[in-house]
Structures are given as C-alpha cells and as structure tokens.
Structure 1
Amino acid sequence: MKHTGWRKPTPGLGIAEQLAQAGEQVGVPKTRAFVALKRVGAYIGLKAGDMLLLDTLGAFTQ
C-alpha cells in the first residue's frame, strides 16, 4: 500500500485498500445498495434527514 495520507499505514488499511480496489468494478443494483444503507445508516451516524436526502437522490438516479 502506498502511503498518501495522514493515517499511518497498517496491515488492516492495506487489506481494506485491496478490497476497495477489487469492488470498484462490481455492479450492485440500486435497490440492494439502498437496503444496505438503511440497515447501517444509524450505526454510521446518519440522521433521519440524511436518510431522506439519500432516498430522494436515489429516486432520481440510475
């Protein structure tokens, strides 16, 4: 992993980087992505207004 930011490189960040790069080309249906977002929204600190905004944006995107 190439160090390009403020965080100290760790083995966990290296694994996360590899998984992120592998997932860049994976297509996920919009409905599946929004179901996942709704399940984790509260855990990652999204408020009701944030969820409403994301739902609205999702309704107008492909």
Structure 2
Amino acid sequence: MANSVRIPADPQQSRVTKDLNENITGISDLSHANQEANAQVAEVSQDLNKNSVDLSQLVSRFKTQ
C-alpha cells in the first residue's frame, strides 16, 4: 500500500485555480445567455418570415399593368 503525502498548494497556484474557475463559470454563463438570445432570434426570424408571406399575399391582390 502506497503512502501519499499531501502538499498544500502555494498561494499562487490557489489563485490561478480560482481564476480559472471564475473564467469557466463566466464562459458557461455567457454560453447560456447566447443560447437564449439565439432562441429569441429564431423566434423573431419566424415572425418576420410569416409577416413577409402575409405582405406578399396582400401585395399580390393589387393588379399591375
């Protein structure tokens, strides 16, 4: 059975680990916000497409010479 010795991390290593954790959390938060924004853009795009079809149908009622 091997014995393991635990050596405490130095303050710099602890700070780097904390910074990495904060950065990863920030990236995750931005990713979720981006996902929500993309869903909203998709919804607005569908609405615009429907409005475009509706407008095209209305315009086609006019007779042109």
Common fold, TM-score beyond 0.5? no
- So what's the TM-score if we normalise by structure 2? 0.27
- More helix by proportion, 1 or 2? 2
